[in-house]
Amino acid sequence: MDDARIEQFKKMAEADPENELGHFSLGKAYFDAGRVGDAIPCFERAIDLNAQNSKAYAMLAQAQVKTGDKSAAISTLRIGFDVAHSRGDMMPRNEMAALMKELG
């Protein structure tokens, strides 16, 4: 199941390298499959394509925490929180606030 989703989104991202949703979805598929290290560059690419994607910041920070990169996660959370707050994206904002609190 996970492999089929990963392949589907990998094709989407490769077919259109500017497809923010393709990169985000591929990152989410990797993340859900436990391939957190593979997810990070996908979320970073989604953010490169759209710096206003607050959910991508939230997912990137979670992936960074899982790979043990706490300082990168905190940096991602600071930026992502501001983006989510300015856009009124309450769910990602609250997720990131909780994760920041957890990380101290």
pLDDT score at 46: 98
Query: What's the pLDDT tens digit per position in 5-43?
Result: 999 999 999 999 999 999 999 999 999 999 999 999 999
Query: What's the pLDDT tens digit per position in 45-88?
Result: 999 999 999 999 999 999 999 999 999 999 999 999 999 999 99
Residue 84 φ then ψ, to 5°: -60, -45
Structural domains present in the chain: 2-103 (1.25.40.10)
Residue 34 φ then ψ, to 5°: 85, 10
> pTM for the complete prediction?
0.95
**Rounded CA separation 51/7 (Å):** 25
